[in-house]
Chain A
Amino acid sequence: MAKRSVIPFGPQHPVLPEPIHLDLVIEDEKVVEAVPNIGFVHRGLESLADKRDFNKMVYVIERTCGICSFGHGLGYVESVEHIMNVEVPDRAKFLRVIWAELGRMHSHMLWMGLMADAFGFENLFYACWRVREKILDLHELTAGGRLIFSVNQIGGVNKDITPEMMQQILKSLDEIEEEVKPLEKAFVNDYSVQSRLKGVGVLTKQQAHDLGCCGPFAKASGMSFDYRMTGYEAYKYLDMEPITGTNGDSFDRCTVRIKEVYQSIDLIRQAISKIPEGDINVPVKGMPNGEYMARIEQPRGEAIYYTKASGKKYLDRFRLRTPTFANLAGLTETLKGADLADVPILILTIDPCISCTER
């Protein structure tokens, strides 16, 4: 008779930077079932909605996650602006797009480095993060901070990008593109990487839809769903198509993310060429009253920001649903039938951001 045992995975693990606990039910070295146990990073920040007024809440929401920090601030500000019927000037919309795409690029380079480290390619891990430092230098040049910079406010942004800074951004983007190409070749064309990733953790399009997956995890299975197509902020003036994969295995998830880096570079170039002159914010008066669910496309998928207010200084309810929370079910499905040695790789292919998940 087959023996089953339960192996605890995490919360402290050399490969994953964040604490997540999984109970893996193993039968003869193959994983049969995985039960996630989350909550190590739960800070309960939604309870701060009745202690900080709606203007100061931006600073709390931005610190939900350090990697997707600009996106969280953007989503919160968008939902409150929709409730208060604030019309943001066009220049602010383009600036927000530039920072959001820079955030996406740095998140994907970070992920690529961690993936290479999980394989044992430490040199490639260091090389990817060295390219990432250039993107963080652009953050610091334009906004003042490396990871968490509070640029969003209700009514626009509070810092401007001068034309000299834009020339510097374009120059840096050329250098970054030149440096990402050999890294991509080293990663994607390598035989050992391909043999470890191809055919592992396959999720068909129907399965991805039934499990409610989103982001590059679902795009690799063929689902063409990207919130930037709805044209929020300045995306309606920019030209893009969602990138999809064909097979739905881990290799496709890697190539989708690397192609998104090139797509982001292209979008920033388009935005810089089309940006208009004007104000960067409008003054906002009054209290919010109403409810709205804003959705934006974070680097990891679809994030939903639900705000409900009733005319007071403090919000009634704010809830943030992050993409990794939706991908947890997909993770438990891909782990079924995998070898024990593949478990860290599979967890990394969903690009987990556990501090986003548990807020």
Chain B
Amino acid sequence: MPKIIIPRDTIREIKLEDLMENVQFMRHSRLRLAQICAAWINNRYELSYSFVDESTYAMITLRVYVELDQEVPSIGVFYPYATFYENEMETMYGVHMRMMHMDYHTKLYRISKWAAMLPEDVRQKKIAKDKPKTVVPGASEQPDQEGSAELNAIVQKAVPLRKAEMKAMAADKDIPGTKMASSVPTGDAGAASSPLSERAIRGEQMNAQAIQAPQTKKTETADGKEGEQ
């Protein structure tokens, strides 16, 4: 008879505060992240993080219960490829994820209904609350909120800066005032000049291009000089 390996699967329930520690332990024991799954059962989210052991084929699942508005930290520090699963959870179930290193801003799948897998009344409640995405946890100012005029100014200036960069690249000379040459930000925030404007630029690219485009077109057509600052 050929040798077969019988896997032992377990499900462990943990609290949201202990999530990062447990995941660090999994990473330290060289387990592979298999999937992250979200479900809406009994009026709360149930997140399942599954890890697989390569030698014994065992699967260990961490189960976390999260309320509708709670924010979940990303485990991308330990497992970089978890970002796809987390973006999918945010797109389809509306789970608020924090500090993902590749953030699609709920547009991993560009569908018109955000959080479509929730039941309809819960979904309306979630949209009505309209919780803004915290860029830096605990910071006093967040972009796109009232009272954050400075940040809004930086965000506005980011778009014409990109055009100046592109013009400079076409003429093949140094871009004035910045050290970075690329207009596409890299994943880690370490290489950027300022983390907030990086996220703002990425958010513009991925999410709000349609909203920004008429504005830039307006500045171009209204006054040819206004576009280049």
Contact = CB atoms under 8 A, between A and B. Distances in A.
Do A and B touch (CB < 8 Å)?
yes
Contact of A239 (B2, B57, B108): B2
A208 to B, nearest CB: 10
Contacts of B84: 325, 328-329
B174 to A, nearest CB: 7
A359 to B, nearest CB: 10
Contacts of A304: 34-35, 50
Interface in A34-61: 35, 38-39, 42, 44, 46-47
Contacts of A306: 35, 37, 48
Interface string A291-302: 101010000001
Nearest to B79: A212
A293 B9 contact: yes
A293 B181 contact: no
B37 A4 contact: no
B68 interface: no
B169 interface: yes
B81 A329 contact: yes
Interface residues of A, number: 48
A159 interface: no
For the complex of A and B, list the 5 residue pairs with the smallest distance between their C-beta atoms, beginning with the closest.
A329-B81, A39-B109, A231-B4, A317-B39, A321-B35
Interface of A: 1-6, 23, 25, 33, 35, 38-39, 42, 44, 46-47, 209, 211-212, 223, 225, 227, 229-231, 235-240, 291, 293, 295, 302, 304, 306, 308, 310, 316-317, 319, 321, 325-326, 328-329, 358
Nearest to A240: B2
A310 B41 CA distance: 10
29 contacts: A1-B172, A1-B174, A1-B181, A3-B169, A4-B182, A23-B184, A35-B102, A39-B109, A39-B111, A209-B32, A209-B54, A211-B81, A227-B57, A229-B57, A230-B7, A231-B6, A236-B1, A237-B1, A237-B2, A238-B2, A291-B11, A302-B34, A306-B37, A317-B37, A321-B34, A325-B84, A326-B81, A328-B81, A329-B84
Contacts of B59: 293, 295
B57 A230 contact: yes
B170 to A, nearest CB: 9
A212 B41 contact: no
Given A1-B181, A304-B34, A329-B81, A293 B2 contact: no
B110 interface: yes
B220 to A, nearest CB: 21
Contacts of B9: 293
B172 A3 contact: yes
B106 to A, nearest CB: 12
Given A211-B81, A325-B84, A42 B111 contact: yes
Given A39-B108, A47-B116, A211-B81, A229 B4 contact: yes
Contacts of A231: 4-6
Given A229-B5, A230-B4, A310-B41, 18 more contacts: A1-B172, A3-B172, A4-B184, A33-B184, A33-B186, A39-B109, A209-B54, A229-B57, A230-B6, A230-B57, A237-B2, A238-B2, A293-B50, A293-B61, A295-B59, A308-B41, A316-B41, A317-B41
Interface residues of B, number: 42
B195 interface: no
A109 B187 CA distance: 37
A44 B111 CA distance: 10
B108 A38 contact: yes
Contacts of A321: 34-35, 37
B81 A212 contact: yes
Interface in B92-108: 92, 102, 108
A27 to B, nearest CB: 8
Interface in B1-45: 1-2, 4-7, 9, 11, 30, 32-35, 37, 39, 41
A57 to B, nearest CB: 16
Contacts of B79: 212
A209 B52 CA distance: 11
